[in-house]
Amino acid sequence: MPKPRVAVVTGASAGVGRATSIAFARHGFDVALIARGEAGLKGVARDVEAVGRRPLVLAADVADPEALDEAANRVEAELGPIDVWVNNAMTTAFAPFWDIGPTDFKRAVEVTFLGQVWGTMAALKRMRPRDRGSIVNVGSALSFVGIPLQSAYCSSKFACRGFFESVRAELLHEGSHVHLSMVHLPAVNTPQFDWCKTALDKHPQPVPPIYQPEVPAKAVLDVALDGRREKIVGTWNKMLVFVDSLFRGVGNHYAATAAWGAQLTDQSVDPDRPANLHHPVDEDRDFGAHGTFDRRAGGVLDPSFLRSFPRTVVLFAQAVRANLSERARSGRSMLDDPPPNTQQP
C-alpha cells in the first residue's frame, strides 16, 4: 500500500486554512496543522480525522522562524517527508494607516509576510535536497491593488508577491523540481472579520463579492497538485487586476471611492470584541472555517452583489475618469510614453 502524502498548512485552525486542511485530507493527505489557538487546532484535527486521515497538531507562531523549523522536523519525524507546504496564516489591523501603531503594523507584517518567508524557508530546507515538493503561498487580489483601511495587510501581500517572484526565479535558475506557486484570494467569508484588530466603530466585512472558504481551498489544492505558477480566484478580481495592469491607478481611484464604506457594516463594534493580532482568540472557542456572512457568500452570483452591480459599474467608470484627469494634469495622456529626461548633466 502506498505511503500517504503529507501536507502542511499554516493558519489551519480557521478560515481558508481550515477549509484547505480538510480539502487536502479528503484528497488523501495526512495533514500537519500549524496555528496558535488550541480549540481551533483541536477542531480542525477532528475534521481531518473525520475523513479518515491523520492530523498532526503543531501549536506555533509563524512569525517565529525557529518554531516553524522545529514544526517541520516534527512533521517529517511523525508523518513523513513533506510533499506540500501551504503558507496561509495571516492577521491584520483594520484602520486608516495613521491610526495604526508601529507595534501593530509590525506584527501584521511579521505574520502575514514573514510567516510566508519562514514557512518557505522551512519547506525548501527539506524539499530541495530531495528535488521534489510543492509550496503554495496564499496571496490576495490586494497584492495587486491596495485598498484603504488595510495598509498593513496590503503591504504584506504585495511583499509576498515580490518574495514569490524572486524565489521562484532562483528555483528555475537551478533547474529545481520543487514547485513554488501562489493563489490570490478574493473576499472570503472567514472569522478574520470577527477577530482581527480594528480601530473603527463599525464591524468590518469583506468587500463583495464574497466567497465561501471552500472555493479558494479547492484552488490551493489544485495548484499544489498541478504545479501551475499562480491563480487568481474570482471573476471580479481577475477583471480588476487586469484593468489595473492596463491602466495603472484605476484600481486606486476605485478603491478610494468604493472600498472604504464597503468594508464596514452598519453594526457597531462590540467593546469586548476579541483581537487575535498578538494573541490567539480561538484557545477556548472553535470558530470553524466560516465567518458570519454565509447568507452573502455567493461570489458574483450573490443577489446583494448583483443588485449593487450597476452602482459598481458607475463607480468604476468614475475611477477611470478620475485616473484620466490625474494623468491629464500630469501633462500627458494615459497612453503616452513617459516624457524624456531633459535635465542637463
The residues pairing with 264 across neighbouring beta strands, listed in sequence order, are 204
Nearest to 34 by CA among 87, 80, 84: 87
Site of grid cell 484600481: 251
pTM for this model (two decimals): 0.91
Helix (H) or strand (E) holding 12: none
Other C-beta atoms closer than 10 Å to the C-beta of 265 total 14
N- to C-terminal Cα distance for the chain? 73
pLDDT for 339 beyond 80: no
Instruction: Kindly give the pairing relationship between strand 264-268 and strand 202-204.
Output: antiparallel
Let me know: does 150 contact 196? Beta carbons within 8 Å. Answer: no
User: Per-residue pLDDT tens for 139-159?
Assistant: 999 999 999 999 999 999 999
Let me know: does 287 contact 180? Beta carbons within 8 Å. Answer: no
User: Per-residue pLDDT tens for 95-151?
Assistant: 999 999 999 999 999 999 999 999 999 999 999 999 999 999 999 999 999 999 999
Percentage of the residues of the chain whose pLDDT score is greater than 90: 76
Residues 265-294, mean pLDDT to the nearest whole number: 94
**Domains in the chain, ordered, with CATH?**
5-329 (3.40.50.720)
d(CA 172, CA 174) in angstroms, rounded, equals 6
Give residue 215's Cα distance to chain centre.
13
User: Per-residue pLDDT tens for 298-311?
Assistant: 998 888 788 887 88
Tell me whether residue 157 is one of the annotated catalytic residues. Answer: yes
**Band (23; pLDDT cuts 50, 70, 90):** very high
> Is 195 exposed, middle or buried, given 0-12, 13-18 or 19+ CB atoms closer than 10 A?
buried
pLDDT for 207 beyond 70: yes
- Report cis status (omega within 30 of 0) of the bond before 208: no
3-class state of residue 150 by DSSP? strand
**Band (1; pLDDT cuts 50, 70, 90):** low
The residues pairing with 266 across neighbouring beta strands, listed in sequence order, are none
From 42, 153, 202, 238, active-site residue: 153
From 125, 157, 197, 254, active-site residue: 157
**Band (345; pLDDT cuts 50, 70, 90):** very low
- CB contact set of 169 (below 8 Å; sequence gap of 6+): none
Tell me whether residue 202 is one of the annotated catalytic residues. Answer: no
d(CA 76, CA 56) in angstroms, rounded, equals 11
Separation in Å, CA 82 to CA 60, 73, 79: 17, 10, 8
d(CA 168, CA 173) in angstroms, rounded, equals 9
Let me know: does 260 contact 252? Beta carbons within 8 Å. Answer: no
d(CA 52, CA 46) in angstroms, rounded, equals 10
User: Strand locations in the chain, DSSP E?
Assistant: 5-10, 29-35, 55-59, 84-87, 93-94, 134-140, 179-185, 187-188, 197-198, 202-204, 210-211, 230-232, 264-268
pLDDT for 289 beyond 50: yes
- Which of the pair, 345 or 82, is modelled with greater confidence? 82
pLDDT for 220 beyond 50: yes
Let me know: does 140 contact 157? Beta carbons within 8 Å. Answer: yes
Cell reading at 117: 518567508
d(CA 265, CA 269) in angstroms, rounded, equals 10
Other C-beta atoms closer than 10 Å to the C-beta of 31 total 31
Let me know: does 152 contact 105? Beta carbons within 8 Å. Answer: yes
Let me know: does 102 contact 139? Beta carbons within 8 Å. Answer: no
- CB contact set of 92 (below 8 Å; sequence gap of 6+): 108, 112, 150, 152, 153, 156, 192, 196, 197, 277
**Band (334; pLDDT cuts 50, 70, 90):** very low
Residues 260-264, mean pLDDT to the nearest whole number: 92
d(CA 136, CA 317) in angstroms, rounded, equals 35
Number of H helices, E strands in the chain: 11, 13
3-class state of residue 199 by DSSP? coil
